[in-house]
Every structure is written in C-alpha cells, then in structure tokens.
Structure 1
Amino acid sequence: MPSAGLSTRRAVQLAALLALAVFYTVQLAGALLPNVPVFVAASLAGLALDLYLTHKQPGLLALLGKVRFDVTTRQLLRDMLVVIGLVRIPEVPPDIERPLTLLLLAAYAAHFLCQAVAQLVRRTRTLPVVTRNIDTSALNLTNAPSRLLARQPSRRLLRFSIPGTVGLMLSASLSVQEWGLIGVSCTLLLSLGSAFYLATWLLPKNRSRSEQQVLAWLDQWLAQYKPTVGMYFSGGASSAYQANMWLGTLAELDGRPLIVLRERFMVQKIDATDIPVVCIPKVAHLMRLEHSTLKVLLHPANSGKTSQVLRIPTLKHAFINHGESDKLSSCNPYAKAYDQVWVAGEAARERYQLAEVGVDDKDVVEVGRPQLSPIQHADERTAAADRSEYTTVLYAPTWEGWDGNPGNTSVPLAGENIVKALLADPKVRLLYKPHPMTGSVDPRAGAADQRIRDLIAEANAARGGSRRAPEAAAELERRTAALDQVATAAFRRSADEMERMKIQGTPEEGNADRVRAATEAWEAAYWASFPEWEHQIVTGPRPAIFSCFNQADLLISDVSSVVSDYLSSEKPYAVANTSGMTEDEFRATFPTVRAGTVLTPDAQQIPELLESVRHPEKDGLVQARKELKTHLLGPSDPPSRVRFNAAALELAAEAEARNERVARRTAEIPGQREIEEAAEEAEMEAPGTADPEDAVPT
C-alpha cells in the first residue's frame, strides 16, 4: 500500500502525461482544420508543459526517454505539427514552407553540433582521479561552462526553441512569414553561438593535463605526502554513512591518513574532514598505490570492488565494519579475504567462531568502538532527566533486510503496538527514528511506518500542536546557517567535478574541528527548539543517531548495531521479538538482548518497562548492562582509540616487514636488465653468434 505522498505524485505524473497527449492531439486538430486560435494555444501550451516537466518531473521524462519519446522527439513532433499548421492556414504566405523547413533543419543540426562539442568538453574535463583536500594547482584546473550548455541538453533544446515557436505562432496569428523566419533564426544562432562558446574550453589554455600527466602528478603527490594508513570505501549513494562514522577515528591515528574511494559521486558524500581524499575509479590506476608508502587499508564495508584493491601485495587490509550486531550479516564469509578483522569486543570474536565462515581466530583483533565517544553515559543523562517531567523514549527500529526474515524489523508486526503503548502514557516523549531503508524491500513495512508517523502526528495535535518559541526557532535558523557555511563547500550551480576539485584543494587548518563544534551547537539548538513534551519523527542525517541516544532515557529497537552502540551509555533498553522464538530462545540466540527487556509483538511489557526507568531502584538489569557492555565493546581501559591506533601501527609494521622480506628475496633474483646486459657482453665477445631474429633480411 503506497503512502499518500507517493499516490499524489503518481497522480500528478499521470495527469501530466495525459495533458501532454491532449496538447499534441489538439495541436494536430488545430493544424488540420485549420483553427488558428486552437492551433496556437495548443502549440504554446505543449511547449510550456514540456518546460515545466523538465524542471519539476525529470523522473517522468526519463521514463519517456526509455520508450524513445525523449525531448528531441517531442520537440521535433511539435515543430512538424507547426509546419503542417502553417501550410494549412490559408492566410499564411504559401512560399514560407521551403525556407522555414531549411531553417528548422539547420537549427536541429546546430543543436546536435552543440551537443557534440559539449560531449567533448565533458570528456576533457573528466580526470582519471578526483581529489579533496589536496593542492591541485599544478593541474591547471578551470571553472566549468554553464551547465545549461554543457550538461543539460534537454533544457537547452527546449529553452532555445522558445524564440522559434513564438515566432512561428506570430506568423500563424498575423499571417506574416517574417516572424517565423526571425524566430527560427534566433534559435539557430543560439545553438551555433553556444557551440562556439563551448569550443573555447577545448583550447590549450582551458584544457587540463592529460591522463598520463594527471597520474604522474598523483604519483608525485603520494611520494611527497607519504601516506601510511588509509580507509578504502566503495558503495552506493545511501551508504556513505558507513565511511563517515570512521572519519574522526581515522584523523586521530598516528601517521598520515588517506581516504581512497572508487565512485566519483562519493567524493562529495564524505563529510567534512581534513584528511586527503582521492577517488581512483579504474582498477589499472588503483594499482599505483602499490608503489606508494601506504601500508594499511581499513575497510568499513564489503563491496564488489574490494577484491580489486586486495590484489595489491604491499598492503595489509583490516575489516573494521560499520556496526556490529547479532545478525548473520555481521559475520559475512567475505571477511576471510582480509588480513585481519577488527571487532569491538569478545562477543564478536565468539560470533565469528560460531559462524564458521573461515575467519581464523588469530586474525580477529579486539579494538573496541572508538567512534562511540560522543555518547553520554547514563549518569550524565540522569542529571538532565531529573529536571524534566517527561521520559524520553527512542524507538529506532532497523529495516526489513534482504532475506525476508520477519524478525529483522519490528515495524510491520509490532511497531504500531509499541508506539500506541508509548503514546498512551501522558508522561512519555517519543523520538521515532526509522531506518532510512524501511519499506524498500517489503511494502508492508513502508505502510506500517507511515501509520506510525500518522499516530505520532495525531498525538502531537492532541497535546496542542507544535509551539516553537520564536527565540528558539531563530537560534536554530542561525545555527543551521552557521553549520551549512562550514560543512558545505560553496559551489556555483554550474560547477562540475573538475571545478569542485579545484575549489576543494588544501583545506583551512582545523576545518573538521569547526564543523564538529558547529554540529554540536546545531544539535543543542535543534532539541531546544521543541517543547519538551513534543514527540519527534527524526529522519535524514541531522540529528545523528548518537544525538538521539543522548536525548533518550530508554531505547527500543531490534537486533541491530543500534543496540550495541547504545549499550555504551549503560542506559535501559528493550528489543522487540518478532522472530517467533520464545523469550529464552531469543536471549540465547542474540547476546545483545541479555541485558535488556524483550518485547512481544503486543508490547504489553512497556508500562512495567517505563516504571523501571522512572524508578531506578526497580531496574534489575543495571549490573547486567555493565557486564554486557564490556563483553560487547571491550574494556574501557585502555581507551578504544588507543587500542585502535595500536592495532593500526602493528599491522603497518607487519606490512613493512613483509615488504622488506620480499625486497630481499627479489634482490637475490637476477633482473631482466641484468640478463640483457649479460647477453650483450656475450655477443660482443663472440660476434657472429647473435640471435637470428636480430638479423636483417636480404
């Protein structure tokens, strides 16, 4: 069952398609009758609708393109009907047909010429690598041409056709052929002028270095920077969070860190950081890392392209994951491809042993979870909770996963019951933060998610609706502007990959710290902008899940890494059991549940759970949470950041020792050059015994 918003969007798209078909039909009818007012109105309305759809419904037009009814076909059909109309209208001079047709053909030829030049410009501006936080002044990078000319052929064709269409309609209305000829000539000149303008980017002064020159520059930069440890990441647009959660930890490692990406779009998905970022899309270019000083690559996620970088023998690879849970996906057999698997604590080590996926226990290294440091401890939250009459509950379910297991997410089977039970308590403030992929596999999960949001909206309305204080709202607006200013690079709308690479050269020192401080200030302003009783639906990257943790007195979630991370606070939590197991089986199967309350799908345990949160003396799981925290996340001394750094240094030392051993063995094997020199010496000593293949044929 699609959401109301999706249904509305589809209705708008269907209405737009119907209107487009109607305008073409009416335009044809007006041309054949002929009826000048109908013909002119339908022609202009069709062009206006096409312009609107190009800006507001690009997805719909993409579907039309798949059935070969793209913008060029639509405009060509529209112009053909215009020519038919002008021929059929008696008042229009009959000798307009030939020059008008020739001009229209020339205008289309100019459009395709402009498109060809734009394609050449885009190719010359596509470099073999993309970087951030690296000085690229030696590459002669230039600003991009207008995106309307270089990267938006559909919009360019439609906009440039406006003078021609208007001129033709004036000819039809006034029976004066000159207006049509002038209008189409303007369209022709616009396309020709754009083609010549774009061609200036192909001149030597505007061209960047060649592929070989750029790769040579990369080699030189790597030799100067001398990276020691890097984070390798490849994935889709929605997976960037898996890398972003490790940026702070990577920046604090001893040595010179580097971020290695494979997808060009991912360069802008990485959050603000001072660490150099280099994207190397092609495998052949990636192999150049073998000759750098890089020793270790850390992998927060598996991907199809990971196997490519694993081929570099000079590097050691550690899988650090982007979260740990009791799900089988946390013990992927792919992990055995790495030199080491870094886990938070003993529980993950046991998980790999039980999973029997080929990961040797000696290759599992416990390093804790260093990025959990922003999460406040229970003692810090207690002081804030004592000042509020409301108990803040965070319901953060995970998504349904790819395997269809009903126990993956509680949203379809238990979500509404959980939310209803929480909203029934007048002293509860609910924070609902669903996984961004909820409903992407199972439509029932998406429908349940929408019903949960509706329940929360109704509950807020019953409490009086949102009443933000003007001062708090103004402060949030100021903090948002300040955060956007430091966290988001200022690009022109027409900026392309090369221009962004030029702008994002060497960053200002301490930029990451400024972003961190601005984020903390924004989060404080965000939470302060709402009445303390108002329920919240939290979506998007802001506020982050850790910020929600710090607001909560209680977490309700599913079996996921959210529970493990939240446990670092030692605050109470509950896990929904929609797997069909008994409670004893559920606790035995999933160790992260052992120190929490297990909720059945009817959520009948919630009143008692809230009572134990409000009265800590009734909470019998305090000691269990402390013990489970150590079991899952490792000891607090030495700190996780120290253990993580030590593991990185040790693995780098292993890589260096291995490379030295290989170098010594290689030095003992005569090289090809030595063989050639020996052959040359032998030939000089015994002329006439040269290789027959070297002889010159007679």
Structure 2
Amino acid sequence: MPSARLAPRRIAQLSALLAMFALFTAQIVSALLPNVPVFVAASAAGLVLDTTLQYRDPGLLAVLGKVRFDTLVRQLLRDMLVLVGLLRIDGIDPQTEHAPLMIGLCLFYAVHFTCQGVGVLVRRSRTLPIVTRNIDASALHLTTAPPRLLARRQAQRLLTFSLPATAGLMATATTEDGLWGAIGVGAAVALALGGTVYLGTWLTSKKRAKSEQKVMEWLDQWLADYQPTVAMYFSGGTTSAYQANMWLSTLSKVEGKPLIVLRERFMVQKIDATDVPIICFPKVATMFSLENSTLQMMLHPANAAKTSQVLRIPSVKHAFINHGESDKLSSCNPYAKAYDEVWVAGPAARERYALAEVGVEDKDIVEVGRPQLAPIRPYSGAPTGAYTTVLYAPTWEGWDGNPGNTSVVLAGENVVRGLLADDNVRLLYKPHPMTGSVDPRAGAANERIKAMIREANTRRSGSRPGPEAAAELARRTVELDKLTSTHFRTSADEMERMLLQGTPDGAREAAIAEATTAWEKAYWASFPEWEHQIITNARPAIFTCFNQADLLISDVSSVVSDWLSSEKPYAVANTSGMTEEAFRTGFPTVSAGVILTPTAEGVPALLESVRHPEKDHFTAARAKLKEHLLGPSDPPSLARFNQAIQALCTKAEDRRVLMESRMPGEIPSPREASEEMSEDSESNGTDTVTA
C-alpha cells in the first residue's frame, strides 16, 4: 500500500530528472548545429525546470549534488552552452557582441560568489552562543533576519537572478542583436549586486548582534536577576521532545524559579508552549554559566550523551525523573546511578531498582508519584452508551530487538481484528510515534492495522454530526494554535525567533489549558460515536484518549502505569514467548490486567468483563496495584514532588556553604579545570576530548 501511494511521485521525480538531462542534450546538439529554435527552447526550458524544482522539490536535486552535479555546475554548463551557441550563430560578432556578453556573465558569477561569502559572514554574525525563549533579550540588539533568498538559499538565488540573463541571451540568439543580451546580463548583475549590498547591511553595527562575551555577560546578569532554583535539563533527537514536554505542566507548578536547559538549537522550537524560561547551551563552555548562578538542582527526564557534561557542575544537585515508568529494563538503566537522586512514582520502582542491581542505592530513591496524571478521570463503572470504547496503544519496538517490546508485529492485527469483529466496539488506535523507526516489520504491521480500521469504517453507517461540529473544531483549532504556536515568517532565523519569543504573558498557560479543554470537547464531538479512530497526531494527547476509553489494550510500557491511575480495566499483550505465570511475575504492572496471547482469542471475554463488572476479577487488584505503582493519593503527587525539590535544594545549599568555608582555590571549578586541561594539552600538542 505505501509503495503504491508513492509510485506516482517517484515517477514524476524520475520524469523531471530525465527531462532535465534531455534538455541538456538538446541544448548541446542545437548549439553545435546550430538550430536556433531548438537552442532557445532547450536553454530556456532547462533553466525554468531547474528553478521550479528548486522551489518545489529541492530534495530531488540534492541527489544530483551528491554526484557533484549541483546547481552551480548545472547553471555554469547551461551558460557555457549558451555562449557556444552564440558563437556559432553567424549574425553575432564575436568581438563586439559576444565578448562583452561573456565578460558580463563572468562579472555576474563574481558577484554571486561575493554574495555567497557575505551570506556566510551574516549567518555567523547572527549565530549567538546561546538561544533563549520566554526571556526578554532585546538588550542584545536582536534584529529581524535578512531575506532567506539572499542569506541561505544560494541555489535558488543563482537560478532566480540568472533568469533575466538567460532571457536576454535567448533574445540575442533569436534577433542576432547583442543589445538584448547586454540588457539581460546587466539586469542579472544589477540584481546580484543590489542583493549583495542589501545583505551586507546586516554586517553593520546597527543590525549586528553583540559579541559572544557581551552575550554571556548579559546572560550572567539575567540569571542573577531571575535567580533560578530548579531546572529541567534535556538533550535528544528530533523525535524525543515528547519526553520533556510531558513534564512542562509539572515544572510550571513547582515552587521556586523554574528554568529549562537545552543543548540542541533545534530543540528550542520543539518544546511545547510554556511560560517557563528556556536557555539552550550548544557548547559546554557556555553552559558553565550556570555554575555561578543560584541554580540548586536539575531534573532529568531522559538519559543522553550530553548529560555527563552537566553532571560536572558540583554546585548543582541532579535528580532523574524519567519520562515514564514500566517494567522494562530501560526503566532501571545503570546510568541512573550518576545522579544524586532517582525520583520514582511509587514502591514498585524502588523494588525494580533493587532487583536490577544496577548500582542505585535505596537511600537515593525518592517516591514522588506522577504529577502529570491529575487530568485522568477515575473509573465510573460499566459503559453506558451503545458502544464500548477500546484504546489500543501499543509501544514501539525498542532498540534491542526483543519481540516482547511491542505487540504490533506479532499480535497487533489479531487484537484489532478481534475488536473490529464486535459490532458494539469503537476502537481508538494510537500507536507510539516511533513505531517502525527500528524494525521495518513494525512499520508494515502498523500500516496494515490502519488499513483494517479504515476498511471497517466503510462497513459502518449511522448519523454524523452536522457541519456545525466541524466548524466548531476548526474554530477551536485556530484558537488553540494561536496560543500554542508562534508563526514566523519564512525567512525568520534563530535570532529573529528569540526576538519574537520574549517574555510571555503570565496568563497564557491558563488560557492554553482552557482552550485545550474546549478543543478536546470539539474534537470528540466532530466524530460519530460509532466511528473507529486512528490517532497519530500529538493532539489529542494520550490522557484525553484515556478519558474517552472504557478499556486499554497495550504492552509492557509506561502507558499501563499511567492508565492505572483511573483504575479502569486493561489488558496487556504477551508476545515475549514467556508463559502467562512467568509474564505476570516478571512484569508486575500487568498483574492486575488480562493477558492476551499473540492470537488474541481472549478479546471477546475481555469485552464481556468490561460490560459486566461483576465478571471483572481484577477490580480490587487494580486499586492495590495503583498505589503500589504510583504511591498514595494523599498527600497529592505535586505536593510530594515539591517536597522532594525543597529537600534536594537544601542539600545543594548545604554543600555550597561547606565549599565556601574552605580555602578559596582549594578545589578548582569545572570551568577552571577545563581551561587548565586545555592549556596543558596545547603545551603538549594534544587535543582534549570533552566527556
């Protein structure tokens, strides 16, 4: 199915490449003959096709760049063939007409390369040592970005500015009058020269940002004024931002002055809407600005390679909070012993670390619950509507190739087939966003499951919400997007986004929460109650799906732990190859749920127990397991979380006082030690490797 959908696009791309090479061939042959009509048509069509592809499908042309047949080479070849063709047209004088045109084209390319060099200087001058969000950085003289065509799109700039030159030269080939070519080439040179001069204005003191030293001095002053106490540190790839985003609501409610610390520049825009200040430190050296701030502790929702760098700051305490807990080995990674404390939801995680024997001592484990679970509504009894809503939310395949990680490959289709066979089931299918990223079989199974659900919907019928429901959803979507997204113009760069994303309105988070609730209500109201749903976007969030569902079917993952806060029935697919008894013993989170085999023959009985609670034998077990996994309900999780923050901050402050009581210089700071290592390495002629 996916390959069939991609076929027309692949055919169009291949046709475009073949057409480009055919036009080059026609241009060569017609220039040598010469054949003026074919020569003019091939030269003009080649440039127009190349320019169109640059704007509409630059990825296709990137393939040609890999074999060194990039835009510059192609345009040079076209212009060279144009000059060859003009030489072979009898009515054009090589001395008085052809030579000036050749000199003009050379001048055009000289200006193009100059503009390219200016663009490099402008980009470097606008690359700050840090990136911020939700911070007023106007004191840094931030300015809007130059046009992207001039500063960053050299291929598009070359082809666009070449259009008048090619048009003039083709007019000369047709009329045998060199004046037209001179006008066209002159216009191209003027465009390139004007663009270069305009781009160069971003190098003037009026538009140029402050130096790195001034920027870091400004940051030190901002940190002194803001006085942060607790930060969330995050580093990761493009698809991992959800691991940090799930903690934003909690971070905004902590006592003290919260801060978000990032390491990758792109991640600044991946973090969801929040009022918490964000600082990105791409380099280790700049990150040590935090060492002299009031920051006392950091929260870590994930382990990353760059985490070891921030752990070198001794004045800051570190707590690992993870991005979800499950019975998988990844939930008790040996790296956790690098932190001062490991914060877990409840006693189950404490026991998990003890059994894993990965070096995390029991005294360093703190139970704080799961503050994010507050929006999940509790169990209210059997389904009351015409349909039983089932959420199938399998996890992804993981890195280790364990067949028990995800049920999608071995059991997914059977589970979905069993659910779709019941006419009174409405299925919500929400696969993990990374499904298929490691194992192609998981991606293929995921696509087959989606196809099954779409086909099942074609066999169902019934009344649908009126057009006003769709209009309400569209209105709520626009309203929520305005609150959660900052719409930048196409040319906006990092510095311009910093300028636009200054200090936020303090009431924004409350407005977002209200708008999100309204959007969720409109979203579910826009679908008929009998229609199955495939949910792959960030909205609606998983907790919203929890509140819609009567039953969860999932894998051994944090989804099950979070679901248990509702105490609703759930089932877990066992694709590990273990017996049910061993599976329940090895993975405590599944002990209060129904275990499904890969064939999923237990689905009908599972649905029966949901519709008739007297047949549900796990009601009491779920309540007991909930407390074991998530801790007690009183005091609330957020209160316990704040208590843990205050306790660790006190430890950090005690250590700071102790260090200040010692002789100055007795213990070098990480920054001083790093500088000393660099000096020693330079004197020895060796390079240092930052951990």
Alignment of structure 1 residues 15-54 onto 2, 5 Å = 15-54=15-54
Shift in alpha-carbon separation, 1:431–1:317, aligned structure 2, 3 A: same
Shift in alpha-carbon separation, 1:4–1:447, aligned structure 2, 3 A: farther
Secondary structure of 1:509's aligned partner = coil
Distance in 2 between residues matched to 1:412 and 1:192, nearest whole Å: 59
Structure 2 residue aligned with 1:85: 85
2:476 to 479, 501, 511: 479
Task: Check if 1:12 corresponds to 2:12.
Answer: yes
Secondary structure of 2:528's aligned partner = coil
Distance in 1 between residues matched to 2:402 and 2:12, nearest whole Å: 35
Distance in 2 between residues matched to 1:40 and 1:355, nearest whole Å: 74
Structure 2 residue aligned with 1:321: 322
Residue type at the aligned position of 2:460? R
| Greater CA drift, 369-378 or 7-16 | 7-16
Shift in alpha-carbon separation, 1:447–1:465, aligned structure 2, 3 A: farther
Distance in 2 between residues matched to 1:231 and 1:509, nearest whole Å: 20
Contact 1:431-1:536 within 8 A present in 2 as well: yes
Structure 1 residue aligned with 2:347: 346
Secondary structure of 2:519's aligned partner = helix
Shift in alpha-carbon separation, 1:83–1:329, aligned structure 2, 3 A: same
Distance in 2 between residues matched to 1:620 and 1:606, nearest whole Å: 15
Task: Check if 1:590 corresponds to 2:590.
Answer: no
Secondary structure of 1:44's aligned partner = helix
In the TM superposition, what is the alpha-carbon distance from 1:171 to its structure 2 partner? 1.9
Structure 1 residue aligned with 2:290: 289
Contact 2:98-2:178 within 8 A present in 1 as well: no
Distance in 2 between residues matched to 1:9 and 1:406, nearest whole Å: 34
Contact 1:460-1:466 within 8 A present in 2 as well: no
Alignment of structure 1 residues 220-235 onto 2, 5 Å = 220-235=221-236
Shift in alpha-carbon separation, 1:670–1:373, aligned structure 2, 3 A: closer
Structure 2 residue aligned with 1:495: 492
Residue type at the aligned position of 2:444? A
In the TM superposition, what is the alpha-carbon distance from 1:29 to its structure 2 partner? 2.3
Distance in 2 between residues matched to 1:180 and 1:469, nearest whole Å: 62
Alignment root-mean-square deviation, CA: 1.8
Task: Check if 1:526 corresponds to 2:519.
Answer: no
Task: Check if 1:453 corresponds to 2:454.
Answer: no
Distance in 2 between residues matched to 1:300 and 1:669, nearest whole Å: 34
Contact 1:93-1:176 within 8 A present in 2 as well: no
Q: TM-score, normalization: structure 2?
A: 0.94
Structure 2 residue aligned with 1:144: 145
Residue type at the aligned position of 1:144? A
Distance in 2 between residues matched to 1:378 and 1:479, nearest whole Å: 28
Task: Check if 1:513 corresponds to 2:513.
Answer: no
Task: Check if 1:268 corresponds to 2:245.
Answer: no
| Greater CA drift, 520-529 or 644-653 | 520-529
Report Cα offsets for 1:457-501 as digits up to 9, x if no partner: 111112149955200000001001101111112322221111111
Distance in 2 between residues matched to 1:254 and 1:30, nearest whole Å: 76
Contact 1:344-1:367 within 8 A present in 2 as well: yes
Task: Check if 1:544 corresponds to 2:545.
Answer: no
Distance in 1 between residues matched to 2:416 and 2:336, nearest whole Å: 37
Distance in 2 between residues matched to 1:214 and 1:131, nearest whole Å: 11
Structure 2 residue aligned with 1:391: 388
Shift in alpha-carbon separation, 1:153–1:637, aligned structure 2, 3 A: same
Structure 2 residue aligned with 1:438: 435
Count of residues in correspondence between the two structures: 667
The alignment-based identity, stated in percent, is: 67
Residue type at the aligned position of 2:262? L
Contact 2:92-2:98 within 8 A present in 1 as well: no
Structure 2 residue aligned with 1:300: 301
Q: TM-score, normalization: structure 1?
A: 0.93
Secondary structure of 2:477's aligned partner = helix
Distance in 2 between residues matched to 1:35 and 1:468, nearest whole Å: 65
In the TM superposition, what is the alpha-carbon distance from 1:272 to its structure 2 partner? 1.0
Shift in alpha-carbon separation, 1:240–1:549, aligned structure 2, 3 A: same
Distance in 2 between residues matched to 1:176 and 1:670, nearest whole Å: 81
Distance in 1 between residues matched to 2:462 and 2:47, nearest whole Å: 44
Secondary structure of 2:514's aligned partner = helix
In the TM superposition, what is the alpha-carbon distance from 1:137 to its structure 2 partner? 2.0
Residue type at the aligned position of 2:375? P
Contact 2:462-2:530 within 8 A present in 1 as well: no
Structure 2 residue aligned with 1:153: 154
Report Cα offsets for 1:398-454 as digits up to 9, x if no partner: 111111111111112111111111111111111111111111111111111111111
Distance in 2 between residues matched to 1:121 and 1:649, nearest whole Å: 45
Structure 2 residue aligned with 1:681: none
Distance in 2 between residues matched to 1:433 and 1:24, nearest whole Å: 49
Structure 2 residue aligned with 1:684: none
Contact 2:142-2:496 within 8 A present in 1 as well: yes
Distance in 2 between residues matched to 1:277 and 1:670, nearest whole Å: 30
Distance in 2 between residues matched to 1:183 and 1:468, nearest whole Å: 59
Structure 2 residue aligned with 1:198: 199
1:666 to 647, 663, 667: 663
Shift in alpha-carbon separation, 1:177–1:526, aligned structure 2, 3 A: same
Contact 1:125-1:207 within 8 A present in 2 as well: yes
Distance in 2 between residues matched to 1:104 and 1:259, nearest whole Å: 52
Report Cα offsets for 1:198-220 as digits up to 9, x if no partner: 11111111111111001000000
Report Cα offsets for 1:617-647 as digits up to 9, x if no partner: 1111111111111111111111110111100
In the TM superposition, what is the alpha-carbon distance from 1:187 to its structure 2 partner? 1.2
Structure 2 residue aligned with 1:691: none
Shift in alpha-carbon separation, 1:278–1:74, aligned structure 2, 3 A: same
In the TM superposition, what is the alpha-carbon distance from 1:63 to its structure 2 partner? 2.7
In the TM superposition, what is the alpha-carbon distance from 1:91 to its structure 2 partner? 4.4
Shift in alpha-carbon separation, 1:588–1:669, aligned structure 2, 3 A: closer
Report Cα offsets for 1:166-190 as digits up to 9, x if no partner: 2222222233222222112211111
Report Cα offsets for 1:29-67 as digits up to 9, x if no partner: 222232223222222222222223222222222232222
Task: Check if 1:115 corresponds to 2:116.
Answer: yes
In the TM superposition, what is the alpha-carbon distance from 1:533 to its structure 2 partner? 0.7
Distance in 1 between residues matched to 2:235 and 2:362, nearest whole Å: 27
| Greater CA drift, 125-134 or 163-172 | 163-172
In the TM superposition, what is the alpha-carbon distance from 1:3 to its structure 2 partner? 4.2
Task: Check if 1:575 corresponds to 2:572.
Answer: yes
Structure 1 residue aligned with 2:603: 606
Structure 1 residue aligned with 2:631: 634
In the TM superposition, what is the alpha-carbon distance from 1:301 to its structure 2 partner? 0.7
Shift in alpha-carbon separation, 1:181–1:523, aligned structure 2, 3 A: same
